[in-house]
Amino acid sequence: MKKIIAFILISNLSLAQGNFVNDSLDIYIKRELTRWNLPGLAIAVVKEGKVIFMKGYGLANVAKKIPVTENTIFQIASNSKAFTGTSLALLEYYGKLNLNDKVKKYLPYFNMNEDWRTEQVTITDILSHRIGYGTFQSDLLNWASNRTRKQLIENMINVTPKYGFREKYGYCNMGFLTAGEIIPAVCDTSWDDYLKYHYFIPLEMKNTGTTYSAFINSPNSSKAYTLWNNKLTEITAANVDNLGPAASITSSVNDLSKWVMMQLADGKYNGKQIVPREVIKKTRNSNTIVGESAGPGNNFNTYGLGWFLKDEYGKKVVTHDGGANGFLSQTVLIPESNFGFVILTNSDSQYLFEAIGKQIINDLNKQPYYNYSVFYYNSFKANYNKDQEEIKNWREKAAAFKPVTDAYKKLEGMYSNAVYGKIAIQAKEKFAEVTFQFHPQYNGKLQFLTENTLLIEYNNPVLGIKEITYLEKNKQRQKTIEIKVNDFVDMDTYIFIKADDLYQSFTPESTMPTAVPKKK
């Protein structure tokens, strides 16, 4: 332990001198990559129109020992939102729409749970996380499901927003999906092709795309990893084509450095105006208050059109993070300093990408060196160990509990929830298995902890392990079961009501949506 402390102190002193990016970033990343057991990372730093640092670290494919390079492709998840926000602002610039137009004007099938809400929601509202949804609300269904973009938007009528309209910030993937679908409504081209021809081709982003098939079939693509039962584990990357405008772009740091250069040059790249300066400025206007100060040097946190906006020691910072199954990323622009960077990683069990970003921003603002990676790691490890201890206790409790005869048989049947749809539970000898109507890739193992509580262990580590409640009789004399997943997927608990005691597996036909009636 003393050796570790001494090492950290020596490291702090050695890194405190000089420019962090030029003198210390490389050694810092190599050391911290080991601390976090992070398979791979790529970073590009841009200053005054030039890439001053760009490099890949670690492995894109652990099993095959394929290294990460500046051209390795990662899922960038919610960093896609800035492309969508810029696109809608660009369409306004060209007179195709007005950001204050009502969404209903362009998408007749867009309906919220109340007519007055439906009629009031503007394009700016859906791009600014202020339609009343709570953060990640309804994403149990939306994320990686087999429903189409239109079907997901049609399902919004079944969601009761947590907050009042424009009352407060709530991070909403459905808002950006809806915004993206306005593009084909006004210019007869898909969101995917709009980005391709307005950004990817002009910016020479040759390793950037919007589809899952292109990603998994590219020889440059990284694998996805997570920490599962204390082991680094390869997982399947999520197919989020249906959430494209909110989350489906895949790219490399080499390509994204060009996007950053264009952003910092007020829309210019290689001397050509790719995006009008007025459009760039529009995306960086604050539309929604996100929260209070987040620490020294920070006074405001707001959201624009696909960008988080904040101050750091007197300088405006334009930024966004992205998170998908096995991938975490960050884009940062500091226009006043003509400086920006992008960080892409292939594990979702780490905060190193955040720590590196904090180190770079602080160094730019001439703040004293502090190793945020150590601070974040200690917090992450403590929380992870706490969670693992809780899971261990649940498993021991499930193993010790002796349910009544046919307890799992009583669980068997079909259950429904107005927002999600259906789940099916099938009894096994010593447990039950739950499957999901719109997620054929998911299942969960159910074991009784008590008469009315169950342990659910999902086959996908991203969903987690949770304690849930099963009630045979509630006030409505219905049998109900809770479904809960990790908060970073969906923060809500879903109550499914038993509709039939007969178990039926989901066929391709049964995963097709039923017509959604318009709510009067």
The rounded distance, in Å, linking the Cα atoms of 201 and 207 is 10
Residue 194 above 60 pLDDT?
yes
Residue 2 above 60 pLDDT?
no
The rounded distance, in Å, linking the Cα atoms of 302 and 305 is 10
Confidence tier at 476 by pLDDT (50, 70, 90): low
Burial (CB count within 10 angstroms: exposed 0-12, middle 13-18, buried 19+), residue 62: middle
The least confident of 8-17, 204-213, 239-248, 412-421 is 8-17
The tokens describing 296, both together, are 């020294």
Confidence tier at 16 by pLDDT (50, 70, 90): very low
Q: Average pLDDT in the 26-31 region?
A: 97
The least confident of 128-132, 334-338, 403-407 is 403-407
Helix (H) or strand (E) holding 269, with range, is strand 268-269
As a whole number, the mean pLDDT across the chain is: 93
Phi-psi region of 338 (alpha: psi -120 to 50; beta: other; left: phi over 0): left
Confidence tier at 475 by pLDDT (50, 70, 90): low
Non-local CB neighbours of 513 within 8 Å, separated by 6+ positions? 147, 151, 154, 155, 421
Residue 232: predicted pLDDT: 96
Non-local CB neighbours of 168 within 8 Å, separated by 6+ positions? 130, 289
User: What's the predicted TM-score (pTM) here?
Assistant: 0.93
Cα distances from 18 to residues 320, 343, 454, 458, in angstroms, run 28, 22, 55, 48
Residue 518: predicted pLDDT: 42
SS3 470: strand
Confidence tier at 293 by pLDDT (50, 70, 90): confident
Percent of the chain with pLDDT over 70: 93
Confidence tier at 514 by pLDDT (50, 70, 90): very low
Q: Average pLDDT in the 81-92 region?
A: 98
Burial (CB count within 10 angstroms: exposed 0-12, middle 13-18, buried 19+), residue 137: buried
Q: 65: closest CA among 87, 39, 45, 86? A: 39
Strand ranges (DSSP E) for 336-479?
339-345, 413-417, 421-427, 432-436, 439-448, 453-458, 465-471
The rounded distance, in Å, linking the Cα atoms of 227 and 215 is 22
What's the pLDDT tens digit per position in 413-455? 999 999 999 999 999 989 999 999 999 999 999 999 999 999 9
Phi-psi region of 421 (alpha: psi -120 to 50; beta: other; left: phi over 0): left
The rounded distance, in Å, linking the Cα atoms of 51 and 269 is 13
Percent of the chain with pLDDT over 90: 88
The rounded distance, in Å, linking the Cα atoms of 134 and 172 is 7
The least confident of 31-35, 69-73, 292-296, 471-475 is 471-475
Give me the amino acid identity at 508.
P
Burial (CB count within 10 angstroms: exposed 0-12, middle 13-18, buried 19+), residue 64: exposed
Helix (H) or strand (E) holding 375, with range, is helix 372-400
Non-local CB neighbours of 434 within 8 Å, separated by 6+ positions? 423, 424, 425, 443, 444, 446, 456, 483
Residue 8 above 50 pLDDT?
no
Domains located in the chain, CATH noted: 2-382 (3.40.710.10), 407-511 (2.40.128)
Residue 511: predicted pLDDT: 58
What's the pLDDT tens digit per position in 349-386? 999 999 999 999 999 999 999 999 999 999 999 999 99
SS3 478: coil
Give me the amino acid identity at 385.
N
Q: Average pLDDT in the 18-25 region?
A: 85
Residue 33: predicted pLDDT: 97
What's the pLDDT tens digit per position in 500-509? 988 898 976 5
Q: Average pLDDT in the 99-124 region?
A: 98
Phi, psi of 498 (to 5 degrees): -70, 125
The rounded distance, in Å, linking the Cα atoms of 318 and 302 is 10
Phi-psi region of 404 (alpha: psi -120 to 50; beta: other; left: phi over 0): beta
Give me the amino acid identity at 96.
K
Q: Quote the crossing angle between the two packed helices 173-187 and 81-93, to the nearest 10°.
A: 40
- Yes or no: say if 363 and 385 are a contact pair by the CB < 8 Å rule: no
Residue 178 above 50 pLDDT?
yes
Residue 507: predicted pLDDT: 78
Task: Tell me the β-bridge partners of 262.
Answer: none
What's the pLDDT tens digit per position in 250-292? 999 999 999 999 999 999 999 999 999 999 999 999 999 998 8
Residue 478: predicted pLDDT: 86
Residue 15 above 70 pLDDT?
no
Residue 294: predicted pLDDT: 75
Please report where in the chains the tokens 């919004």 appear, as a residue.
156
The tokens describing 255, both together, are 């390509």
